[in-house]
Structure 1
Amino acid sequence: MPPNWGLCPVQDVVKPFAEAQAAPEGLGISNTEQATDIEGDALSGTEENPVFNGNVTLRRGNQFMGADQLTYDKGQEHYTAEGSIRYQGSGLRMTAASAEGDQAKDTHIIRDLDYQLLSHRGNGGAESVILTGDIGSLHGATYSTCPPESRHWELRAGRIDIDTDKGVAVARGATLRVGKVPVIYLPWFMFPTDERRRSGLLFPSVSNSSRNGFDWKQPIYLNLAPNYDATLSPRLMTERGVQLGAQFRYLVEGGAGTVEGTWMPDDDLRNRDRSLLKYSAFQNLSQNWQARANLNWISDTRYYEDFNNSLDGLSQSTSFSEIGIYGRGHGWEAAVTADHWQLADSLLTESVLPYNRMPRGYVRWERALGLRFVGGVDAEAVRFQHPDPAIDAGSRLDVKPWISLPLEGDSWFLRPTAAFRHTAYRLDESLTASKSRSRSQPIFSLDSGLFFDRDATVKGKDYLQTIEPRLYYLRVPYAYQDDMPLFDTQPLTFSWGQLFRDNRYSGADRQADANQLTLAVSTRMIRQADGHERFSASLGQIRYFDESRVRIPGEPITEKGRSAWVADANYAPTDRWTIGASYQWDPKFNRTDLASVRARYMLPDDGLFNIAYRYRRGLIEQTDISFLYPINASWSIVGRHYYSLYDNKALETLAGVQWDSCCVAVRLVGRRYVHNRAGDLSNAIMFEIELKGLGSAGQDTRRTLRRAILGYNRDDLYLVPPQTATGQPTPPDTVTDASP
């Protein structure tokens, strides 16, 4: 998140000079090679030493100076100016009491001045400044990004050297003041004057927790070249030891990559060395082909648990690596990849890991065949290996050609589709004489729907109301599959999208037999003025005409009859309120399988309030409340209470206070959270002070708050995909996670 300058709109501490606006922009040559032009109301003195009085202006290239009086030595190209000095050039604009300079050497000495950087919010004052080209040395100087009337922080130094060409400043003998209180003395300190990259110390991250103790991380940035850089991050944890982290980034033509790692010798928490290595990159090979890599390695199964201070670390029980070449064009996509899983949970064994796919190749092709027919093929060939050598491996080929006749009009659609799926295996080990397996099944589906709409007026506002009934019939004959392995197949979580899929499993190891009909209807209320969807609701159910005989071990039988009802609704009573609910009710057992209620209220000034309840039978029951409440323009409070009713345990409790001003932000956050799968709780106090335009010290609290409070950064709300409630088909390559 960039600095929030909302309380500090752009303003000119040193007002622009009307006369300077007419100064030429430069002719592509240095100022010293251009002529000096001086004007004034009155002229006296001699021809070699003229004296200009009244509304004096001196211009050369992109430099401008205004004064009440100016004396100029033509032979030495030296000038002396007094009274109401106004100077603009070298990336600075300033007012001063007097000035003198050497035009031949492009050197200027200006005294008793106030200045403003032209390309940054920085401003301040100085006893004097010596300007030589793009380099300025301020003596007895101050610097801040705050306006003079609200000096929340200020850097005072005996000398500040500013290089506007490089966008960097160096302060010597500096004292950093917050308000009127000096907080730190810096004998030498480098800071940016614009957004360009440069080598130097970044602000440290400081925190304290019951697990790490006092935690200090000091990033050191190395700007090695225009297309690559590095960051070293030594870290001290008083309860554990010292860790060294490093990151290297590069840019090449058509590609980019990042290599990063950490190493911690003899971590006192586990009495062993700890390390991590990551590599992520992409490289365009042609217009249609790209190579990508995402490689991860950890030294032990507790690494993520011990080096994460958020719930994100708990959800990561594996470390996943993938590398491949990917292609995409008009009507096709293909890839050759390899992936690998590493265990990252000390409470589990390698037997629970997914199979490694080394290699995997797939192709998806689709083309119009004429006479309105569309055809295609989905094919995949995979070699499966398991991290646990005791688990058998093998290879699988899955081919699914299909043909469809999509018919549609303005208010209807009809999409009959016929496919044939063939899956064959070659197993390394087998309990029977044959190591080969195969399965072939035809698949037929008929997807149809109608669109009814009408104009409606509600409380004086015009809406478009729709009713969208939809029927989806699926017929797949039974094929025996019990002797086939389960490499990468699991039942998909039952949801709205599952009503319109031709298989209830992910992966190709099982193709469910089916003789079923989905009946569904959706409705929407769309505001005509701007297209905003004020209300949507969907209801659907599957009617099973036959019992499904294909299933995996432990999966309940899909009997004849009806599936659970799937309902989803979203309502925005105002532009600030959003309310949504999802519900699944199984009439066969008269029970609720899933219930979810969520609501969000958008407060003025970026505030918000979220509340949610989630229930899935036998798995989870949770409440989640979070908020960002602005007390006024500067003060706000944040909080979250994430609680598992199923376990009678708080998963995360967070509370904090924020103070924001034009150029300073301070955040103090306390957290109590579950830090491992055993349910152990950890406490942390995070404090961050952000001096806008200079940097921040402390832990990255905004990252934590952004993860915990959806909408903490308001732009995140527009990155969340809307609920699929309009009956649109789920993309064929979309897999719903089977986990709760």
Structure 2
Amino acid sequence: MRPSLRLLPLPLCIALSLAAQVRAQDREMPEDWSLCPVTDIVPAFEDAQTGVSTADRATQHTDIEGDTLTGTDKHPVFEGNVALRRGDQFLGADKLTFDSEQQRYVAEGSIRYQDAGLRLVAERAEGDQARDEHRIETVRYQLLSRRGNGGADLITLHGTEGSLHGSTYSTCDPSERLWELRAERIDIDTAEGMGVARNATLRVGRIPVLYVPWFMFPVDDRRRTGLLYPSISNSGRNGFDWRQPIYLNLAPHYDATLEPRWMSKRGLQLGGEFRYLLPGGRGTFHGAWLPDDELAVRGRAEEIALGIPPENRRRDNRGSFGFSGYQNVGAQWQARASLNWISDPRWIEDASGSAAGNALFALSSDLGLYGRGRHWEAALMADHWQLADYTLSEAFLPFARLPRGYVRWDRPLGRWLEVGMQAEAVRFSHEVLSGGSRLDIKPYLSLPLEGASWYLRPTLAWRHTTYQLDADLAASLGGDRSPSRSLPITTVDAGVFFDRQTRLDGVPFLHTLEPRLFYLRVPYRDQNGLPLFDTRPLTFGWSQLFRDNRYSGPDRQTDANQLTVALTSRLIRETDGREKLAASIGQIHYFDDSRVTVPGERPVERGKSAWIADLGYAPTDRWTIGAAYYWDPKFRREDLASIRARYLIGEEGIVNLAYRYRRDLLKQVDFSFLYPVSPNWSLVGRYYYSLLDNKPLEAIAGVQWESCCLAVRLVGRRYVRDRIGELNNSIQLEIELKGLGSAGPDTEQVLRRAILGYHRDDLHLVPLPEIRSGDPREPDPIP
């Protein structure tokens, strides 16, 4: 029988309440449920509908069917395979009695309910739809929208309020209940979106590890003021370290997080973050304040012994402040800002938990208005630098650009010509050194000739740079306050693509051969009277083979009569486009000496540059080998050598090995791994060692145990904590209850940074090296 009745919806949206008994903390990486059994805690119902949208649930009719229909029109009784369907909602029972006058119903025997987010079974359900009161007995449920299951002895509902008596929740399989949250009673108000649990106990195995007599929690995705998960750790520098974030839901378009932090060896620090969201823009303010830092007092004698000047020492009252954000201004313009301030040059070193904090010698701040169109881009901006390395003085800081404006424009002229221009105007200032202004203009004309397998791009440019210098700076450069330089720049870039089909072990590959020539001709101009504001020699590398200037800025334009000869060959698997081999080699032939230099730089002599060779090879889909090698035939020496190898173990494991050498600067080995001993146990480690300094930069050893719903990580770590090379030791223990949260420091993020491929998705996220003005003592990093 299949009568169709217009009934008030049965309020079995208890799924929302059950699903929200516990909210997992925000995670950058998704939970890993790969070890969980592929079974349903509550088996699927064969007679339940699937694939129905939940969007229009409230407007749909409720269809009721059963084997028999007795009673009267006002008191129908359905028996035998009773099924109620409305949208994605399904309710099944052996018997359903409905009183249309009193609006009461009783469902008995094998009660089954399912919707898009929940599946549950119960023994009995009854309710009064007029009063919107309902009672469900002996419930067992499984969440479908995310992992979670549990039960309740009794559920009562009254309007938007409900109570769960004797409820449980876990993400573990019932056959292996590694953890479970139990509550004597949970009261829920879906209108307010909040719940209150009473006498709640968290059990790990059969052992109760946490008892809370009362706590409030959200039952939906609305943001609310409250406590976030704390972070607890211990280290030799900070001592016992407790961070307790407090979230403040101030308005739909802005919020804040306070983070008091207690460090037993340093004191109480107050940190915070304020976020806002506007149409077309957003921004974040963040800061921290640590008054009377005991580390400053404790380390003062050491700073004096090291000869650190007073202005670079730790302040007693310390902190930092920052802002980052953007705002769209029309369709083609955007305002962006990144502002940062620190109380003293040692703040970043002391606040950082790794050697990465020691690599930053200056902190930058910038703001500007940026625009981009089809054939142009432009900006008006300003930047400033603050010292973050106590071993340097402010004289080492880059010049601030207050302000800087630039425009880049290019446009095709018909089919064969392209015209463009790059222009920049800057005012440079410095806390110690004298500054000035610079205008740099570089128009060009190019002839882009190309076919399906070749290209030829001759380009003629003219570079004009003029200055207006402060008196002191002009006097140190010869007295001319308005020096200038003009010169033509000619380049010819040509290449050919050859390819053929070949087979290796029966697998089809595309084999390419890509020779390339790049000719550069720039006449000599005496530039000794020009200042050096933001210009330094670029580290010699593959990209420099095809640049028209070997300097990072326009204060120096190299003179050149040179030809780059390069060759690249690739093997590309045709079935999936995977690159099995990529080999490149190149060299610059200098036909004349290059006379333009900066102080301390060796002139480029006529002859040949170092050979640059780069190799990437994948013997199998699990092995990847890469190498780079720079050999200078003039001095018969290697300037750079690096080799890196990676092996993938199963679906999760990985081994990385790298060796890096740069003449007179570094010589390092880096070994890291994630080795799965079994599906549950794995070993992790890293050994990053400087052969020049004869000491480790970072050493990590740890063990992980992971199941479907529980993970434990124990990690020991030894790492360089400051610029003078002192080592810090730490032991970190993290216990993660999947779907609930974790206790202890975030060891997963430490391992993710130290072991490339700790998460397989990270293998394609390795950033390209960035070229920018930086520490004058250090070269650009090795790719």
Report the TM-score when normalising by structure 2. Answer: 0.88
- Out of 327, 336, 343, the position equivalent to 1:292 is 336
- Aligned partner (choices 448, 459, 464) of residue 406 of structure 1: 448
2:94 is matched by which residue type in structure 1? D
Q: 1:566 to 1:695 in 2, by over 3 A?
A: same
SS of structure 2 residue aligned to 1:618? coil
Tell me the equivalent position of 2:199.
173
Of 292, 304, 321, the match for 2:365: 321
Matches within 5 A, 1:108-123: 108-123=134-149
Q: How far is 1:356 from its partner?
A: 0.5
Q: Is 1:17 matched with 2:42?
A: no
Moved more, 607-616 or 537-546: 537-546
SS at match of 2:548: coil
Q: What residue identity is the alignment partner of 1:242?
A: L
Shift, 1:167, TM fit: 6.7
Q: How does 1:206-245 map to 2 (within 5 A)?
A: 206-245=232-271
The 5 Å alignment of 1:658-673 reads: 658-673=704-719
Deviates more, 1:629-638 or 1:321-330: 629-638
Give a deviation string over 1:394-449, Cα, whole Å, max 9, x none.
01011111111121222322111111111111111221543111011111111122
**Number of the residue aligned with 2:112:** 86
Letter in 1 for 2:448: P
Distance 2:732 2:575 in 1: 45
Aligned to 1:396: 438
Counterpart check, 1:308 vs 2:349: no
Pair 1:536-2:577 in alignment: no
Deviation of 1:663 (Å): 1.8
- For residue 542 of structure 1, report the CA deviation from its aligned partner: 1.1
Kindly indicate whether residue 384 of structure 2 is the aligned counterpart of residue 384 of structure 1.
Answer: no
Give the SS at the match of 2:575: coil
Q: Deviations over 1:184-240 (max 9, x none)?
A: 112233456666644332211111111111111111223333332222211111111
For the residue of structure 1 that corresponds to 2:292, the secondary structure is strand
| CA distance in structure 2 between the aligned counterparts of 1:7 and 1:539, rounded to whole angstroms | 46
1:550-589 alpha-carbon deviations (Å, 9 max, x no partner): 1011111211111111111111101111101111111111
Give CA deviations for 1:69-89 in whole Å, capped at 9, x if unaligned: 344333322223332222347
Q: Which runs of 5+ in 2 are unaligned?
A: 1-28, 298-315
Question: Does residue 461 of structure 2 align to residue 419 of structure 1?
Answer: yes
Q: Deviation string for 1:666-715 (max 9, x for gaps)?
A: 22211100011100111122222222222222212221111111111211
**In structure 2, do the counterparts of structure 1 residues 485 and 60 end up closer, same or farther at CA, with 3 Å as the change threshold?**
closer
SS in structure 2 of the partner of residue 270 of structure 1? helix
Match of 1:684 among 730, 738, 751: 730
Whether 2:495 is the aligned partner of 1:467: answer: no
Q: Percent identity?
A: 62
Asked whether the 8 Å contact 2:461–2:488 carries over to 1, the reply is yes
Match of 1:5 in 2: 33
The answer (yes or no) to whether the contact 1:23–1:61 under 8 Å persists in 2 is no
Residues 27, 684 of structure 1: CA spacing in aligned structure 2 closer, same or farther, 3 A cutoff?
A: closer
Q: Which runs of 5+ in 1 are unaligned?
A: 724-729
Question: Which residue does the alignment assign to 1:618?
Answer: 664
Contact 2:194–2:218 under 8 Å retained in 1: yes
Aligned counterparts of 2:188 and 2:452: Cα–Cα separation in 1:
65
Displacement, 1:44?
A: 5.2
Change (3 A) 1:30 1:455: closer
In the alignment, structure 1 residue 738 sits paired with structure 2 residue 782: no
Instruction: Give per-residue Cα distances to partners, 1:353-391, cap 9 Å, x unaligned.
Output: 101001000011111123501111111100001132xx1
Displacement of 1:22: 8.2
Is it true that 1:145 corresponds to 2:171 in the alignment?
Answer: yes
| Counterpart check, 1:705 vs 2:731 | no
In angstroms, what is the RMSD of aligned CA positions? 2.8
The partner residue of 1:76 within 94, 99, 102 is 102
Decide whether aligned partners of structure 1 residues 462 and 65 sit closer, same or farther in structure 2, where only a CA change above 3 A counts.
closer
- Determine if the alignment matches structure 1 residue 434 to structure 2 residue 480: yes
Question: In structure 2, what is the Cα distance between the partners aligned to 1:412 and 1:92?
Answer: 60
Deviates more, 1:132-141 or 1:104-113: 132-141
Task: In structure 1, give the amino acid aligned to 2:554.
Answer: A
Distance 1:182 1:512 in 2: 72
Task: Name the SS of the counterpart of 1:183 in structure 2.
Answer: strand
Q: 1:320 to 1:294 in 2, by over 3 A?
A: same
Once the two structures are overlaid, the 10-residue window that deviates more, 248-257 or 169-178, is 169-178
Deviation by residue 1:422-477 (Cα, 9 ceiling, x = unmatched): 11111112215431110111111111222222221111111111222222111111
Corresponding residue number in structure 1 for 2:14? none
Measured in 2, the distance between the counterparts of 1:35 and 1:534 equals: 59
Distance 1:525 1:90 in 2: 48
Q: Find the partner of 1:639 among 682, 685, 693.
A: 685
Secondary structure of the residue that 1:494 maps to in structure 2?
coil
Within the alignment, does 1:340 sit opposite 2:421 as a pair? no
1:368 aligns with 2:412: yes
In structure 2, do the counterparts of structure 1 residues 603 and 170 end up closer, same or farther at CA, with 3 Å as the change threshold? farther
Partner of 1:453: 499
1:484 aligns with 2:524: no
TM-superposed deviation, 1:605:
1.7
**Paired letter, 1:291:** A
Match of 1:270 among 286, 296, 307: 296
1:526 aligns with 2:576: no
* C-alpha distance in structure 1 between counterparts of 2:630 and 2:117, whole Å: 64
Shift of the 24–510 alpha-carbon distance from structure 1 to 2, 3 Å rule, reads closer
Counterpart position of 1:726: none
Contact 1:331 1:366 in 2 (8 A): yes
Moved more, 251-260 or 190-199: 190-199
SS of the residue 1:508 aligns to: coil
Amino acid at match of 2:467: Y
User: Superposition pairs for residues 498-537 of structure 1, below 5 Å?
Assistant: 498-537=544-583
Indicate conservation of the 8 Å contact 2:93/2:109, yes or no.
yes
Give the equivalent residue in structure 2 for 1:603: 649
Deviates more, 1:650-659 or 1:683-692: 683-692
Q: 1:89 to 1:167 in 2, by over 3 A?
A: farther
For residues 623 and 60 of structure 1, do their structure 2 counterparts lie closer, same or farther at Cα, with a shift above 3 Å needed? closer
**Contact 1:119–1:194 (CA under 8 A) maintained in structure 2:** no
- The structure-2 alpha-carbon separation of the partners of 1:58 and 1:132, relative to structure 1 and needing over 3 Å to count, comes to farther
Corresponding residue of 1:256? 282
Q: Secondary structure at the match of 1:555?
A: coil
1:555 equivalent in alignment to 2:601:
yes
The CA distance in 2 between the partners of 1:268 and 1:732, in whole Å, is 36
CA contact (8 A) 1:90 1:133 kept: no
CA contact (8 A) 2:771 2:780 kept: no
Shift of 1:611: 0.4
Superposition deviation, residue 49 in structure 1: 4.9
SS in structure 2 opposite 1:21? coil
Letter of the 2:112 partner, please give it: R
Output the amino acid matched with 1:5.
Answer: W
**C-alpha distance in 1, partners of 2:541/2:116?**
63
Q: Counterpart of 1:702 in 2: which secondary structure? A: helix
Go from structure 1 to structure 2 and tell me whether the alpha carbon gap of 1:140 and 1:4 turns closer, same or farther (over 3 Å shift). same
Q: CA deviation at 1:16?
A: 3.8
Number of residue pairs matched by the alignment: 730
| Residues 605, 633 of structure 1: 8 Å contact kept | no
Question: Mean alpha-carbon deviation: is it higher for 359-368 or for 406-415?
Answer: 406-415
Report deviation, 1:94.
Answer: 2.1
Q: Distance in 2 between matches of 1:12 and 1:226?
A: 38
* SS of alignment partner, residue 706 of structure 1: helix
Q: Which moved more, 1:374-383 or 1:468-477?
A: 468-477
TM-score if structure 1 supplies the norm length?
0.93
**Cα distance between partner residues in 2 of 1:195 and 1:658:** 32
Instruction: Describe the SS at the equivalent of 1:305.
Output: helix
Instruction: Determine helix, strand or coil for the equivalent of 2:749.
Output: helix
